[in-house]
Amino acid sequence: MSASNVLVVAEHLDGVLAEVTFELLGLGRALASAAGGKLEVALLGSGMDQAASHLGGADRVLSVDHASLRGFHPEACVAALVQVLTEHPARTVLTSTTSMGMDLAAALAVRLQRPLIAYAQDARLEGDLLVATSQLYGGKLLVESAVEGDCVLSVLAGANPAAAGRVDGSPEVVAVAAPAALASCRLQWLEQIKPPAGDVDITQETVLVCVGRGIESEDNLPMAQELATALGGAVCSSRPIVDNKWLPKTRQVGKSGLRVAPKVYLALGVSGAPEHIEGMKDAGLIVAVNTDATAPIFEHAHYGTTEDLFDVVPALLERLR
């Protein structure tokens, strides 16, 4: 068994640490304290010295600086993480269940020959066992897994408070030499192509009306737009609406879309999958309308109703008029 330390894999883009990194730090601190170990962060990149100064929640930052790590490169990152763990063993490795984290977790578990617990929303130690609760089927089913010994834990973004990981301090920064394998990666990072700006910047709106599968048809979008206009806000959506090309990508909220924090978030026919919750959990007031009483969105909403949105929206419009 490795040391009782916990290693968090920091996620960042353009040198800016992702919110989920601080969520992992909070959970990692709880696990490390329970095990009597240290909390460490693997910071992979190029010229990331400034980012390290924001990781005060960790006892130590293990930094691998190499040109091949300047953009997200799964093959290079896994090789670097193996090197980090070879020099600094840790019992539990925490990654995020995001597009980046999912690329790393499975490959890292295979390379290390460790079990992987995916889609975890929380974890705790019970004696020598790491016990984690994972969400399946969009959060409608919870599964509890127990692992004795070393493991990789992939944690849902938005499932843990980021505030617990935002701690002032100056952690020790230890440089870990880049492995020789980085010089012979089969893939090469070329550039990051950013999507064009949309007609509306939903990240700046104070009121958002979000539509999900429950809107049923593109022909029903004008009803949502009318409500958003009456409330002085904008329309956004969950991923299925964008996949159907009913709205542009710039209107998508969630892990693979945009993170928003409006004062009011009205979710119409949105189920509330973890990927979506990640993007809107910081809204000041969340109101959910969904005929499925078991929809996960209700676990995060301040107010909710199981009435049909096609009855609720006209009633709201009439009251607003």
Q: Are residue 177 and residue 215 in the same domain, yes or no?
A: no
Q: Are residue 216 and residue 121 in the same domain, yes or no?
A: no
Q: Are residue 174 and residue 224 in the same domain, yes or no?
A: no
The verdict on residue 122 lying in a domain is yes
The CATH number covering residue 68 comes to: 3.40.50.620
CB–CB of 94/24 below 8 Å?
Answer: yes
Q: Are residue 67 and residue 97 in the same domain, yes or no?
A: yes
Instruction: Give the residue, 189 or 181, on which the prediction is more confident.
Output: 181
Q: With a cut of 90, say whether residue 161 has pLDDT above it.
A: no
Band of residue 257 on the pLDDT scale cut at 50, 70, 90 = confident
CB–CB of 202/260 below 8 Å?
Answer: yes
Quote the domain boundaries for residue 111.
6-184
Q: Are residue 15 and residue 158 in the same domain, yes or no?
A: yes
Kindly report the number of other CB atoms within 10 A of residue 14's CB atom: 7
Q: Which two tokens stand for residue 220?
A: 């029903």
Q: Are residue 21 and residue 117 in the same domain, yes or no?
A: yes
Q: How far is the CA of 159 from the CAs of 36, 169, 182, 211, 250, in angstroms?
A: 24, 24, 33, 22, 24
Query: What is the tally of structural domains in the chain?
Result: 2
59: buried, middle or exposed (CB in 10 Å: 19+, 13-18, 0-12)?
A: middle
- For the chain, the average pLDDT equals 91
Residue 237: the pLDDT is: 96
Shortest CA distance to 64 belongs to which of 33, 85, 35, 91? 85
Predicted confidence (pLDDT) per residue in 115-160, tens digit: 999 999 999 999 989 999 998 876 678 899 999 999 999 998 878 8
The verdict on residue 167 lying in a domain is yes
The verdict on residue 33 lying in a domain is yes
Predicted confidence (pLDDT) per residue in 11-54, tens digit: 998 888 988 999 999 999 999 999 999 999 999 999 888 888 89
Show the DSSP H helices in the chain as ranges.
Answer: 19-35, 49-52, 74-87, 99-112, 221-230, 239-243, 274-280, 309-320
The verdict on residue 54 lying in a domain is yes
Of the spans 123-137, 176-190, 224-238, 271-285, which averages the highest pLDDT? 224-238
Q: Rounded to whole angstroms, how far apart are CA atoms 105 and 97?
A: 8
Residue 199: the pLDDT is: 72
Q: Are residue 174 and residue 292 in the same domain, yes or no?
A: no
CB–CB of 226/233 below 8 Å?
Answer: no
Q: Are residue 63 and residue 180 in the same domain, yes or no?
A: yes
Residue 238: the pLDDT is: 95
Residue 98: the pLDDT is: 85
* Cα Rg of the chain (Å, integer): 21
Give mean pLDDT, residues 304-321: 95
Domain boundary among 184, 219, 248: 184
Q: Are residue 226 and residue 265 in the same domain, yes or no?
A: yes
The CATH number covering residue 287 comes to: 3.40.50.1220
The verdict on residue 197 lying in a domain is no
Shortest CA distance to 207 belongs to which of 181, 238, 228? 228
Q: Rounded to whole angstroms, how far apart are CA atoms 220 and 269?
A: 12
End-to-end CA distance of the chain: 66
Shortest CA distance to 255 belongs to which of 102, 37, 71, 26? 102
Q: With a cut of 60, say whether residue 263 has pLDDT above it.
A: yes
Kindly report the number of other CB atoms within 10 A of residue 4's CB atom: 17
Domain boundary among 184, 215, 233: 184
Q: Rounded to whole angstroms, how far apart are CA atoms 61 and 53?
A: 9
- Sign of torsion over alpha carbons 107, 111, 112, 114: positive
Q: Are residue 146 and residue 207 in the same domain, yes or no?
A: no
The verdict on residue 196 lying in a domain is no
The verdict on residue 253 lying in a domain is yes
Q: Are residue 111 and residue 49 in the same domain, yes or no?
A: yes
Beta bridge partners of 17: 12
Q: Are residue 27 and residue 147 in the same domain, yes or no?
A: yes
Domain boundary among 184, 211, 230: 184
Q: Which two tokens stand for residue 212?
A: 């999900």
pTM of the model: 0.74
Residue 1: the pLDDT is: 42
Beta bridge partners of 126: 129
Which residue is it, tokens 């009633």? 315
Percent of the chain with pLDDT over 90: 69
